[in-house]
Amino acid sequence: MATENKPTTKHTPGEWAFGEWDDEDGGGQHFTVDAFINKDAEPELVAIVAGEPDCMEANARLLAAAPDMLAALLTVRNEQAQDGDCFFCRPDMAPEQVAGGHVEDCPMPFVWAAIARAAGGDA
């Protein structure tokens, strides 16, 4: 993915991956999310996933994919911002005609909302 679409948020950089281990003391299976900041360093623990055992692996995988999903959404948003018009619902309208307006099923408001939810005001 292009560097300019990498999130500018304050989250831990690097590739995130989910991990799992079995507790040798009988504590069961555990899942984590680790950030691999560079290839020469130990991964940095981002999260230990808790909750229902049946959901923990899926939750850890979802969390580990979050930076990539954010980067994908930023790619879509940045493309939108460069062109000025909404390529989902109004590709033939001038930017000044689109301001604030999308058709009912346009995904762009959800893209913007997801980015804001993930990054606050940092992206």
**Site residues, Zn ion (CB under 5 A):** 86, 88-89, 102, 106, 108
* Nearest distance from C-beta of residue 113 to Zn ion, angstroms: 13
Instruction: Tell me whether residue 6 or residue 77 sits nearer to Zn ion (CB atom).
Output: 77
Q: Is 33 exposed, middle or buried (0-12, 13-18, 19+ CB in 10 A)?
A: buried
| Min separation Cβ 7 and Zn ion, Å | 23
Min separation Cβ 60 and Zn ion, Å = 33
| Beta carbons of 42 and 93 less than 8 angstroms apart | no
- Cβ closer to Zn ion: 56 or 86? 86
Burial of 74 (0-12, 13-18, 19+ CB in 10 A): buried
| Cβ closest to Zn ion, residue 91 vs residue 120 | 91
Q: What are phi and psi of 27, to 5 degrees?
A: -80, 0
Q: Name the DSSP letter for residue 4.
A: G
Q: Which is nearer to Zn ion, 40 or 105 (CB)?
A: 105
Least Å from the CB of residue 97 to Zn ion = 12
